[in-house]
């Protein structure tokens, strides 16, 4: 194999930088979709990583699961047998050894993928990245040029910053968690599908919900639960309106602006002064109120938690307080409900033969296209092919509708149940606590 000299020229360093700068974190996924000839299911977390060149390359060195790390294996060794495997299988964002090997082999064979992606340690020898060579242990200039290209690409595309700003909102995190849960649940359900085989290797599976509007509708209960938890829909007792009236801070002076601020900007009202706060939350003492304000405004960590918030234990993320009982638990229940909904919906479709029909119809269309491509005397008309493709879309739509309805029903039920339970528990907590005593310190 050709080797890059340990003292590369400026021209060679420029080629290395240029190739890394133009590469995309989505290169491998695009390759699998191109080879499979159909839409590939892309896990939401992987899609998010792929949006940032830095994050995409970092995945090549991160461990795949907790069980791949020494400390993870140590922790699992002291756990009960029933907990070992679930803990070891917790994902850490990296590629598995099989994925890394498949990525490397695909890049070696496909020039488009080689030009559009970066593999750590592989350096292009020419301006078109037609040939690559190992960087070599001591070739720091080549490695630095590649790293600089990746960083420059991330800065130019706002990759890492877009991920950071996207995850600023609890609703966005809930939505990603929902999509990830749907993805993982659908992968576990075996069904006939165009598997996209390339030399006997599995290239990927079609999404269980191709239609974006259906996916967003399926995720709605999760972000609604998150919005309720952080107070984006209604004013919580003890808090001001987002756009408070001068006469009464618990009322808004601009109902339309209040709605827009809560829904579009994700804003919620600030704490009332204690004298006003106590009128709606008589169970909270002045000491507790002051301690909570100190918790909110002390420290600069984007993530912190307390067990003594006005609404019980809570997590504060980027200034948004999310109560455990009425926020986090309903969000978690939404993900659990989505996974159950995927399983039940796909089982229902499979039981009536929906996936088998979809698979068979896809094969008919592939054969028709192959005949038209390979046979100059093919009698298959555009109209005939269009008819079969229309029939496939009808099948796919029907199957997706069934799964989407199951997800929405199960997610809504689980979320509503968890939210109701959370509000009951919080009400009981406040009732058992009782009103704060009318001492001088509380007046």
* Alpha carbons 259 and 232: distance in angstroms, whole number: 9
DSSP 249-288: TTSBS-HHHHHHHHHTS---PPBPPHHHHHHH-TT--HHH
Q: Predicted confidence band at 124 (pLDDT cuts at 50, 70, 90)?
A: confident
Average pLDDT (307-332) is 86
CA distances from 441 to 4, 237, 277 (A): 75, 22, 15
Q: Tell me the pTM.
A: 0.70
Which SS3 state, helix, strand or coil, does residue 45 take?
A: helix
Say if residues 153 and 160 touch (Cβ distance below 8 Å). no
The least confident of 205-214, 279-288, 297-306 is 205-214
**Residue-wise over 227-243: b if at least 16 C-beta within 10 A, else e?**
bbbbbbeebbebbbbbb
The least confident of 29-43, 98-112, 197-211, 410-424 is 197-211
**Mean pLDDT over all residues of the chain?**
81
The least confident of 143-152, 156-165, 303-312, 325-334 is 156-165
Q: pLDDT digits over 42-72, tens only?
A: 667 777 777 788 888 888 888 888 888 888 8
Of residues 347, 330, 19, the one with CA closest to residue 177: 330
Q: pLDDT digits over 226-267, tens only?
A: 888 777 778 888 888 888 888 888 888 888 888 888 777 777
User: What pLDDT does 182 receive?
Assistant: 81
* Alpha carbons 291 and 83: distance in angstroms, whole number: 37
Whole-number percent of the chain with pLDDT over 70: 86
Which SS3 state, helix, strand or coil, does residue 3 take?
A: coil
User: What pLDDT does 203 receive?
Assistant: 45
CA distances from 78 to 74, 83, 87 (A): 7, 10, 11
* Alpha carbons 427 and 433: distance in angstroms, whole number: 10
User: What pLDDT does 199 receive?
Assistant: 41
pLDDT at 197 over 50: no
Q: pLDDT digits over 66-96, tens only?
A: 888 888 888 888 888 877 887 787 777 788 8
């Amino acid at each position: 194999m050709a080797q890059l000299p340990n003292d590369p020229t400026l021209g060679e360093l420029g080629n290395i930088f240029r190739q890394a700068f133009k590469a995309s974190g989505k290169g491998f996924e695009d390759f699998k979709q191109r080879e499979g000839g159909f839409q590939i299911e892309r896990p939401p977390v992987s899609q998010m990583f792929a949006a940032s060149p830095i994050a995409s390359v970092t995945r090549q060195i991160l461990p795949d699961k907790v069980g791949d790390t020494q400390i993870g294996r140590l922790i699992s060794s002291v756990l009960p047998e029933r907990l070992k495997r679930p803990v070891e299988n917790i994902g850490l964002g990296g590629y598995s050894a099989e994925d890394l090997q498949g990525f490397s082999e695909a890049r070696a064979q496909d020039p488009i993928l080689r030009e559009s992606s970066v593999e750590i340690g592989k350096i292009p020898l020419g301006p078109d990245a037609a040939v690559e060579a190992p960087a070599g242990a001591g070739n720091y200039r080549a490695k630095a040029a590649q790293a600089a290209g990746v960083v420059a690409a991330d800065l130019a595309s706002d990759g890492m910053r877009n991920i950071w700003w996207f995850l600023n909102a609890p609703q966005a995190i809930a939505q990603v968690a929902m999509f990830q849960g749907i993805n993982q649940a659908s992968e576990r359900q075996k069904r006939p599908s165009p598997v996209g085989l390339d030399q006997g290797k599995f290239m990927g599976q079609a999404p269980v919900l191709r239609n974006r509007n259906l996916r967003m509708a399926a995720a709605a209960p999760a972000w609604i639960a998150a919005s309720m938890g952080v107070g984006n829909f209604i004013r919580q007792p003890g808090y001001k309106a987002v756009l408070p009236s001068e006469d009464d801070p618990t009322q808004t002076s601009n109902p339309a602006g209040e709605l827009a601020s809560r829904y579009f900007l994700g804003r919620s009202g600030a704490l009332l002064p204690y004298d006003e706060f106590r009128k709606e939350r008589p169970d909270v003492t002045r000491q507790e109120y002051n301690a909570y304000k100190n918790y909110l405004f002390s420290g600069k960590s984007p993530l912190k938690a307390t067990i003594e918030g006005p609404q019980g234990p809570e997590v504060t993320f980027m200034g948004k307080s999310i109560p455990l009982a009425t926020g986090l638990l309903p969000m978690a229940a939404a993900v659990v409900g989505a996974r159950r909904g995927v399983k039940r919906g796909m089982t229902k479709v499979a039981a009536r033969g929906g996936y088998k029909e979809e698979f068979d119809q896809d094969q008919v269309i592939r054969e028709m296209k192959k005949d038209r491509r390979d046979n100059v005397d093919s009698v298959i008309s555009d109209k005939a092919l269009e008819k079969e493709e229309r029939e496939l879309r009808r099948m796919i739509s029907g199957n997706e509708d069934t799964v989407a309805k199951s997800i929405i029903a199960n997610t809504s039920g689980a979320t509503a149940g968890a939210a109701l339970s959370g509000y009951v528990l919080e009400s009981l907590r406040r009732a058992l606590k009782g009103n704060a005593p009318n001492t001088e310190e509380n007046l």
